[in-house]
Amino acid sequence: MLAEVIEDQLSLNAALPRTLRALLLHPGLLSTEYLDGRIQRYIPPFRLYLVSSVVFFLLLSFLSGQPSTGIVKFDGEVVADTTRSVTELIQRADTAPDGTPIKRDLRLRTGWERLDSLANRRAWELLALPPGQLFRTLFSVFLQRAPTAVFLVLPLYALLLQLLFFRRRRYYVEHFVFALHTHAFVFVLFTIMLIGMRLPLIGPLLIMWQFVYGFLALTRYYGQGRFITLLKYGLLGVMYSVVFGLGLLSTVVVALLLG
């Protein structure tokens, strides 16, 4: 019964090694095979994306270290004090040479009174924490919300593909399938990096393969020339970096405000 449940939920059968081999070593193959109707041979795109993202973020959460707290000294002088709140550190830093306190207005003003009140209250709650605890809080929110942010920008990534390759006359869902496979590849690659992070050169080599992989996948899937594909690949990278950054930032900020 356990084997049947695992196989049903994660497709841990002959399709798994075949899918991982195609995903990691043959750029664009899974998307091409899926659209050609060869579906049973591989793990479905959405399931592959879901499992790979869950495994990566669970492993990242497990391996992430906690910052130390306390007073750090160098030659008997205090150079860092993580037992004090961030507010206290700001107040100590905002002092003139003659000892006169420097007043700073740290209030957020957006023009929406209710949002200003909520944002300022939440900001001062966070600033009341010691730096170590503040970092852990922010990192915890990031780990909780990053999967949501990535999932929310997936449709936008597919839309960017549709805009850049509009002459290929593909349906939107075809771009979305490619987006699922591309993101699943990144999650699997980053998972391998986390597992082998103590091995020399493993990180740089995998990062290089990620960039080469993306170009080869676009070339194979959309069938355009290498030069025009390279230009679109660079443009896609810039556009998606902006979209992903804004999406992640918005998701984390909303989580902090509602936290």
pLDDT per position as a tens digit, 188-236: 999 999 898 888 888 889 999 999 999 999 999 998 899 999 999 999 9
Asked whether residue 74 is domain-assigned, the answer is: no
147 shares its domain with 222: yes
259 pLDDT tier (thresholds 50, 70, 90): low
**SS3 at position 12:** coil
41 shares its domain with 145: yes
- Most confident stretch, 60-74, 121-135, 200-214: 200-214
Give me the amino acid identity at 165: F
Asked whether residue 79 is domain-assigned, the answer is: no
Residue 32 has pLDDT above 90, yes or no: yes
**Distance from C-alpha of 112 to C-alpha of 134, rounded to nearest angstrom:** 26
Residue 43 has pLDDT above 50, yes or no: yes
Q: How many domains does the chain have?
A: 2
101 shares its domain with 143: no
119 pLDDT tier (thresholds 50, 70, 90): low
158 shares its domain with 232: yes
Residue 77 has pLDDT above 50, yes or no: no
pLDDT cut 90: percent of the chain above it = 37
pLDDT at position 65 is 57
Which segments of the chain does DSSP mark as H helices, in order? Answer: 2-10, 15-25, 29-35, 45-63, 86-93, 113-127, 131-164, 172-195, 202-222, 226-258
For 98-102, 121-125, 139-143, which range has the lowest pLDDT when averaged over its residues? 98-102
35 shares its domain with 154: yes
Q: In terms of residue numbers, what domain contains 227?
A: 2-65+132-258
164 shares its domain with 252: yes
pTM of the model: 0.74
Asked whether residue 77 is domain-assigned, the answer is: no
pLDDT at position 80 is 44
139 shares its domain with 204: yes
pLDDT at position 165 is 92
Cβ density class 217-251: b for 16+ within 10 Å, e for less: bbbebbebeeeebeebbeebeeebeeebeebbeeb
Asked whether residue 36 is domain-assigned, the answer is: yes
190 shares its domain with 254: yes
pLDDT at position 93 is 47
Asked whether residue 238 is domain-assigned, the answer is: yes
142 shares its domain with 32: yes
Mean pLDDT of the chain: 78
Residue 31 has pLDDT above 60, yes or no: yes
Asked whether residue 75 is domain-assigned, the answer is: no
123 shares its domain with 144: no
22 shares its domain with 60: yes
The tokens describing 209, both together, are 């393969």
Q: What are phi and psi of 80, to 5 degrees?
A: -155, 135
pLDDT at position 74 is 39
Asked whether residue 221 is domain-assigned, the answer is: yes
pLDDT at position 163 is 94
252 shares its domain with 189: yes
Asked whether residue 70 is domain-assigned, the answer is: no
Which of the listed residues 76, 104, 129 is the one where a domain comes to its end?
A: 129
**First-last CA distance in the chain:** 40
